[in-house]
Chain A
Amino acid sequence: MSSKGYIQSYSIIKNNRVVLNGEEFFAGGAEDDFATFIRALYKKLEITHSSFYKMDDMCKLGLLATELVLKDAAIREKYSDTEIGVVLSNSSSSLETDTAYYETVKDRNNYFPSPAVFVYTLPNIVIGEICIRNKIKGENTFFIFEEYNPEFMTDYVNNLFVSGKLKSCVTGWVEYYEGHYEAFVYLAEATQGDNRCIHSAEQVRKIYSF
């Protein structure tokens, strides 16, 4: 087996624009707030996810970015649930939601800790939501970097392919903090098929220029 996998499909969500495999998939109003934008993307994708509105913004972002790269990939037809994994990363962990949660406790005169917010105060919950929706049970991990680290991420996922731990992996960067959001999520696979390019840091840097 080659030491590098292949990128099957990729999505970029940034500045209220959505790019799928290099082409614009959707553009929200430039002045729309995130809630409006992401709701519009959700409707555009024409999917039903019963807990969508309960999710925090980072999870909505990550779930829909994943939906884009998986919608035509039929991974569950090609692989079993443990052969597919999710390896994601960001810089701010779940800090946006952490701050929102803390608002529910910081004033002791208005102290109502919210379990529905607290449950999202971990960065790997977005992985949980992706796994639940797509019935993915394989290797999954969330990394924190100051900046997106394609060298580490591509190496790590490629090693999971080479060692036979995974055959397919949703991977990338899902960041949401203080009004800035950015998702670069792609589907990497161990074997070459109808694939776009080699799964390497160089290739990732080429396609993730938005």
Chain B
Amino acid sequence: MNSVFLISDNVITSLGFTTRENAAKMREKCSGVMLSEDSFISPIPFYASLVNTPLLEEAFGSLNAQAEYTRLEKMLITSISEALRSANVDPSSDTTLFIISTAKGNIDLLEERLKGRFPKERLKAAVMAKVVSSFFKNPNPPLVVSNACISGSVSLLLGKRLLEGGRYKNIVVAGGDVISEFTVSGFQSFKAIGSGPCRPYDEARDGISLGEGAATVILSVVPGPKGAIALKGGAVTNDANHISGPSRTGEGLFLAINGALNDASLAPEEIDYISGHGTATNYNDEMESKAIHSARLEQVPMNSLKGYIGHTLGAAGIAESVMATYSMKHDILFATAGFSKMGVTQPVNVLSDNLEKKVKKVLKTAAGFGGCNAALIFEKQ
């Protein structure tokens, strides 16, 4: 079976509009999680990682769009455009498929201040996805994955499987979500938002920082000129325990990690870096560390990037995978912003500082509402 390669990518977050810009900020340990006092979004100030609006308008503006697009669509289109710039891929070909990952789509269109700006059907994710893929004149109806916080990881795995099926030459996998009154209030009602920038795996962690953004990976069966990182395998499972709290034992995520290792034909001892989910809730981080222990990976250096870019929901699995592949290409693992003291009962090897290390076989974990878990394995060829 042919391998599937990541031939190009892009990340748009509070830290910047390219993968490189994001990496540069992470190298400097510069977090994009700030206190926002946008009263349209929340009656009380809240910490979040917000994409810079004037810069977004500028970046999107340079694409000479002929119609009106929502904030999410602008982020997705800008991200995909940027990724296409360094890939020899024709987005308008029928051998190219788009997969869009999103938890809430254009949910901000429910807000009063946006009422009437767009047709109601733009609330529907498949309509939104088609608007995005049509921008690039792609003739295939895009696939849309909406599976909470694992959407991005699932989309990458879906792309791999479809490429292996042989019907497409290239797959553009793009994910995104926006910060909105809807999402912020919801997580506040859960008392899930931290009192400051989030602190993954830390003793003092007290909740998430939400983030917005978009990220793109272009997948191909042809490696591309610059050396190749392959998506070797993955797995998706369910805890079958509770719809919003993860299983206390971490069993579901452990099964996903195991499933991914089997899918990639790798043994646990071959993994040299883990890009964790690390949302900084009490339960997620505790569960995740248990799963990592069960998989005998507790010595492997790991981090969570959510302290830099927040939890970007539908973009998370893709954005964080892209940053993991950056680490693989540039031999640097980023510190876990917000982490200083181990705060999970089964300690794991969380990086509190940048680490220069050559890593070749990387595990990416994710978990989400609905009890779902996903694990991906990337390998440098």
Contact A129 B124 (CB under 8 A): no
Scan residues 180-208 of chain A and give those whose CB is less than 8 A from a CB of chain B.
Answer: none
A140 engages B125 (CB within 8 Å): no
Decide if A45 is an interface residue (CB 8 Å cutoff): no
Chain B residues near A91 (CB-CB < 8 A): 124, 126
Q: Are B144 and A122 in contact (CB under 8 A)?
A: no
Knowing A115-B189, A145-B144, the reply to whether A128 touches B43 (Cβ < 8 A) is no
With A108-B43, A159-B161 known as contacts, the answer to whether A118 contacts B186 (CB < 8 A) is yes
Q: In the complex the two chains form, is B185's CB within 8 Å of A137's CB?
A: no
Given contacts A91-B124, A144-B124, contact A132 B146 (CB under 8 A): no
CA distance A189 to B252 in the complex (A): 22
Are B370 and A124 within 8 A (Cβ)? yes
Nearest A residue to B143, CB-CB: A143
A-side interface size class: 35 or more
Q: Is the interface of A mostly helix, strand, loop or mixed?
A: mixed
Given contacts A137-B255, A142-B147, A143-B143, contact A127 B369 (CB under 8 A): no
A125 touches B124 (CB 8 A): no
Expressed in whole angstroms, the Cα–Cα distance for A155 and B166 within the complex equals 13
Cα(A121)–Cα(B181), bound, Å: 14
Contact B243 A119 (CB under 8 A): yes
A139 touches B144 (CB 8 A): no
Q: State which residues 51-104 of A face B: CB under 8 Å.
A: 81-82, 86, 91-93, 95, 98-99, 101-102
The minimal Cβ–Cβ distance linking B65 to chain A, given in whole angstroms, is: 22
Pick from B30-38, B88-96, B230-238 the stretch touching chain A: B230-238
Q: Is B222 an interface residue (CB 8 A)?
A: no
Instruction: Assess the A95–B237 pair: CB atoms within 8 A.
Output: no
Q: In the docked arrangement, what's the CA distance between A159 and B161, Å? A: 9
B239 at the interface (CB under 8 A from A): yes
Is chain B's interface secondary structure helix, strand, loop, or mixed overall? Answer: mixed
Q: Judge whether B144 and A144 touch: CB under 8 Å.
A: yes
Residue A13 at the chain B interface, CB threshold 8 Å: no
Within 8 A of B (CB), among A125-177: 125, 127-129, 131-132, 134-146, 152, 155, 159, 163, 165
Chain B residues with CB below 8 A from A128, complex form = 238, 243, 369-372
- Contact call A138/B238, Cβ cutoff below 8 A: yes
Any chain A CB within 8 A of the CB of B141? Answer: yes
Query: Shortest distance in angstroms between A84's beta carbon and chain B's nearest beta carbon?
Result: 10
For B372, the chain A residues whose CB sits under 8 A away are 124, 127-128, 140
8 Å CB interface, B112-141 against A: 112, 123-127, 129-130, 141
Residues of B within 8 A of A93 (CB): 105, 124-125, 146
Q: Is the CB of B238 within 8 A of A99?
A: no
Q: How far is the CA of A153 from the CA of B112 in the complex (A)?
A: 36
Q: Which residues of B contact A134 (CB under 8 A)?
A: 240
Q: Is the CB of A122 within 8 A of B369?
A: yes
CB-based contact B146/A143 at 8 Å? yes
Asked if A22 lies at the interface with its beta carbon under 8 angstroms from chain B, I say no
- What are 26 pairs between A and B in contact, CB < 8 Å? A91-B126, A98-B110, A101-B186, A105-B181, A105-B185, A111-B185, A113-B185, A113-B188, A118-B186, A118-B190, A119-B190, A119-B243, A124-B372, A125-B370, A127-B147, A128-B372, A135-B240, A136-B238, A141-B158, A142-B147, A143-B144, A143-B145, A144-B144, A145-B126, A155-B165, A159-B161
Q: When A and B form their complex, which 9 residue pairs have the shortest distance between CB atoms, in order from nearest?
A: A128-B370, A113-B189, A118-B186, A144-B144, A131-B238, A115-B189, A113-B185, A131-B240, A124-B370
Further 8 A-B residue pairs, CB within 8 A, beyond A101-B182, A105-B182: A101-B186, A119-B190, A122-B146, A122-B370, A124-B368, A131-B371, A146-B124, A165-B235
